[in-house]
Each structure stands twice: as C-alpha cells, then as structure tokens.
Chain A
C-alpha cells in the first residue's frame, strides 16, 4: 500500500479527522479549565459520562451513537451540577467534591455496563469500548456530530472571549461589573462536558481527562498571553491527535486513544523541561546564573562598605581581606567587576609584598554599588 492509498483509506481518514477535532476542542476548553484550577473537572466529567453512555444505550436499545452521546452529556452535566451543589452547601472542598462525584458516577457506570453485558444483548457490540475508546469504529456521521459540537464550542469561546478571560482571572471582580459569573462558569463546564462527548469514541472516558489537561499545561509553559496559550494548546491538541492516529494506523493494531494521549503527554514533558523561563532545565540554569551574579554583587557592595567604613572612596581593599570576608575566593567575581570597569587593581603595597594585590572602586563602581544597595533596601521594606 503506497502512502497515497494509505491516506485515502476511509477508516484512517475518519480517525485522523476525529483526532484533530478532539485535539482542537480539548486544547481550547482545557486552557480555561487549567487556568481556573479545574483540571480535575475534566476528569470528573469524563468518568461521569459512563453511566450516561449505558443509559443512552438502554433507552435506545441499540448502539445508537446519538442517544449514547446525549446520555453522556446529560450525566456529565448532572455530575458537574451535583459537584457544585455539594461544595456550595457544605464544607466540602472542591477537590473532595470532584473526587466523590467522579468515583460515584464511574462506579454506577461500571455496574450498568456489567448489567448490559449480562443481558447478552447482541447489539451491545463493544459498549466497553467507551472505556478506552475505539477510534477505528468512528463513522463519517460521527464526525459530523463531533465537528458540529467543536464549531459551536469554538464559536461561543470567540464570542464570549473577554468574559471568559475575566471570569477565569478574577471572578469576583467580574461579578462586581455585573457579569453573570455563575452562568459563564456553567457554560464553560457544559462545554467541557461537550468536549468529553467528542472524545468518548476516540479515547474513552478513562483517558479523556488527559486530553483536556495536557495540551493546556504544555501550552502554558510557552506562552504568556491567553490568546497565545489557547492557540498553542489547540495546535498541540491537533498535532498530538493526528500524530497518535497516524502512529496507530502505521503500527496496525496498537490502540489509537492511548497513542494520542502518549503523543500529547510527551509534548507536556518536553515543555515542562525545556520551556524558556518556566521549564525545569531553564530554572536550574537561571539559579546558577543568579547565584554567580549574587556573589559578584556581594563583592561589589563589600568593597563599597569597606570604603564607607573608612570614609575614603579611594580606599584600597586587599584581596585577602575580601576573600576572608566572603570565606571563599573572590578572584572570579573581581575579574568580572574589573572587566565591567567597576574596580581597578593595584599591585600589593611594598610593606606587604606577599599579598595578592588591592582593589579600588571606580566612580562607576560606586554608582553601581549604590544602585544595588538601594534596590536591596527597597525589597527589605
């Protein structure tokens, strides 16, 4: 089979398009969930979809995708409302509320699932595929549903962009301006439930949460504007989805959903390690650099304070004295100060021929030392 045949393969096309849609909607909505510290919400909503899947199947009597997805949406939304009610009207913290709702609904779903399998209904044909997804079973008609949901969600996000941004950043200020904060939060939650519905077929309820969280977490590492973060999360979602789908098509037999999740997760790992300013590696480099700069600033202010203590701006500080004061060799810091023109070196005085020379601040050095001391003083206040 040539690449062209391969790309024209009907199933592969469906899977790739489905994965791209899923990545798109998850990336965009996941960004808001992550920023609102509601990563666990995606997890709860997706696990809570399972009883809805089963009830939808029981009502329709067959594996009718429409009623199954509708059932998933309803039970996801129900779980979200239950969680809100629990945390609003009791002392339960949000994470505990989410955890309880998640496990209760999922347990109910598994019970229903085993019940359906027990009835030996021939039409049940792989209802458990909703646990881990069964991408290859995606039909063109499913894609239309997924596409419709994605377009509607993206439309809402772009219409209510500034409202969603404000509600995510500062909900009480948003309320003081008169925004209907509760409704906007409900809307965001329902849309995440919709994203879950889109993902049910592809990755299943168990892994769906990762699909919502991962692209957003990765994108946050690289972007410092909400616009950039959401676009990047969408790109990572689409990229990871398509890559995972193609990988599974190539490998013939490896599960698509988990491969998609692994693809986006590897982007997360790379981002957590290497993203500028926020990455782990970056942090280590920055720490070492700032430690070196701190040493250099300390040496400069030591020279300044020695001069101040002697009331002599041309005071010559012996290198040995500076080393002793800092308890370590300051040769390197002094050389750097010298390069910048903050100090000049004088040879050791004749009465102490064995010492390592003396250092005197230049006017630029005095200025810089005062600047450093001022900024330290301001921080200390």
Chain B
C-alpha cells in the first residue's frame, strides 16, 4: 500500500493554484487543518474562498498543486466529506420538499439504481430534527425562509455522517436564531471530533465561533490558531484598503446582537 501523505491532517493543501480563463483566483495555496477543529476561511469578496472549497472537492480543476484528506486524495475520501454549498447556488423554486433535499445527501451511499427507501427517509428525518426542521419535512422548498433553507442544506450534509465538513457561508443572510442553531450544531460536530471548515463572512464573530483561521486573499495571508492569526496587521493585509471600514467594528470585542423589537407591555 502506498504511503499516506500527511495522514494526520484532516485537510492538507499544497501549492494549489486555480485560475478561471487564465486569471489566477488562487495562487500557490498551502493550507493545513488539523482534525477536530472548527476552522474559518475569511477574506474579502472575490478572495477565492468558495473556489478554494470547490477546488478541494474537485469541482473546479486546479492548475497546480494537490489536496489530501487524512492522507488520501478527495476521490478516495468522498464518503468522509460533507458539503454545504452557498445557498444562492441553487434555484429554490425547484419542485421538491425539504425531506427530499435532505435525502439527496444519501445518494452517494446508495449508489446507482438503488432508490431511497424507508431507512433513508428515517435518517433524513432525523437530520431534519437535528436542525429543528422536522415540522417542515413535507414543505415545498420555495416556501421556506432563507434561514430554513440553510438549515435544510445543513441537514443534507449531516445525513452524510462525514468526518470533515465544508460549509460555504452558512450564516450569510440568516436570522439570529438560525445562526445560533447552526453554530451550536457545528460545535457539537467538532466536540464529536469532526473537522468543520467554514467560509465565514462576518469578522465580528470569527473569534467567538472558531478556533482555527485562514485569512485568504488570492494568496494565503495567514493561518493557524485564531488567537495568533486574528491581528490588526493580518486583517489589514487581507482586506487592504477596505480595512478602514472594518477596523473599528471588527477589532472591537464581539457584542451581543439581540435587539428589542419594541416596547413591551408591563
């Protein structure tokens, strides 16, 4: 048997370069994630965060470099990986139900020709329960709110019962309750020893939610433990001119974000 390459890393990316029509989007990326952490990929719009995930999953071809998960290439590790694409990447007007979407997470395990049966539906139902969506199982997906759609996507990845999860902006455009629910679920996964890698858009919550951080802007700006990487200097390097906007709000300690709706009757 061939020797494993970096078997102790949940994710190992080496010299990865990706370009769309000869415009480099990711340049010479070296990126490692140890198992059992909750890692954030953070960077400005167009930094190549989604492309990095897609390239790891083999969805966009790399010009150079290689990727291993627990020492093996992705195509040998598919069953150990769960993926939550950006919510906006699909048309939610597709005629199907929440339960059906979650069941899609099992298609890889089912293989060709076999159809999802009672067992698959039960597993999908359990995943919906984990994200608090069991009451919406038969709901047409266009009738769900953005936060509920995001939970359905998360449930679809949970049903894969993976060891490494990749999530692309799971908390973008969701309500506070959903964000809290998603973070709780991801933390639970991490506490079970799984690795969770999240493209995250909100600098304010990076330090509260995550313990590992990759700052990305076409190149790797910095990576490592959140405490070491999350510095004003690194953020300035990643965000360039945009940092003026971010500086005050981002570097202040995160604040509780519950706002009172209106005056209450006594």
Contacts and interface: CB of A to CB of B under 8 A. Distances in A.
A186 interface: no
B116 interface: yes
A172 to B, nearest CB: 5
A289 interface: no
B95 A172 contact: no
A47 interface: no
A376 B94 CA distance: 27
B240 to A, nearest CB: 27
B220 interface: no
Given A172-B54, A172-B89, A173-B83, A179 B265 contact: no
Given A176-B59, A229-B95, A170 B85 contact: yes
Contacts of B266: 311, 313
Contact of A305 (B101, B108, B112, B263): B263
Contacts of A178: 75, 78, 108
Most buried by B among A161, A224, A226: A224
Interface string B118-149: 00000000000000000000001000000000
B75 to A, nearest CB: 7
Contacts of B95: 35, 220, 223-226, 228-229
A177 B96 contact: no
A226 B96 contact: yes
A374 interface: yes
Contacts of B81: 176
A202 to B, nearest CB: 28
Interface string A243-262: 00000000000000000000
B261 A374 contact: yes
B265 A313 contact: yes
Interface string A36-76: 01000000000000000000000000000000000000000
B164 to A, nearest CB: 12
B208 interface: no
B262 A305 contact: yes
Given A159-B113, A224-B140, A304-B265, A378 B94 contact: no
A373 B112 contact: no
Contacts of B263: 305, 308-309
Contact of A307 (B89, B108, B115, B265): B265
Contacts of A179: 107-108
A173 B78 CA distance: 12
Contacts of B177: 378
Contacts of A344: none
Given A175-B59, A223-B95, A170 B113 contact: no
Most buried by A among B78, B116, B140, B265: B265
A163 B140 contact: no
B217 to A, nearest CB: 23
A324 to B, nearest CB: 21
B96 A225 contact: yes
B21 interface: yes
A6 interface: no
B94 A377 contact: no
A122 interface: no
A381 interface: yes
Given A172-B54, A176-B57, A166 B107 contact: yes
B104 interface: yes
Most buried by B among A165, A172, A179, A311: A172
A220 B93 CA distance: 10
A168 interface: yes
Contacts of A172: 54, 59, 85, 89
A162 B59 contact: no
A308 B94 contact: no
Contacts of B115: 161-162
Contacts of A381: 175-176, 259
B249 to A, nearest CB: 18
25 contacts: A161-B115, A162-B104, A165-B104, A168-B94, A169-B90, A169-B96, A169-B101, A170-B89, A172-B54, A173-B83, A173-B156, A174-B107, A179-B108, A225-B95, A226-B94, A228-B95, A305-B263, A308-B263, A308-B264, A313-B266, A376-B261, A377-B261, A377-B262, A379-B175, A381-B259
Given A174-B107, A225-B97, A307-B265, 16 more contacts: A35-B94, A91-B21, A169-B90, A172-B85, A172-B89, A173-B85, A176-B78, A178-B75, A178-B108, A224-B97, A224-B140, A308-B263, A309-B263, A313-B265, A373-B262, A378-B177
Interface of B: 21, 54, 57-59, 75, 78, 81, 83, 85, 89-91, 94-97, 100-101, 104, 107-108, 110, 112-113, 115-116, 140, 156, 175-177, 259, 261-266
Interface of A: 35, 37, 91, 159-163, 165-166, 168-170, 172-179, 220, 223-226, 228-229, 304-305, 307-309, 311, 313, 366, 370, 373-374, 376-379, 381
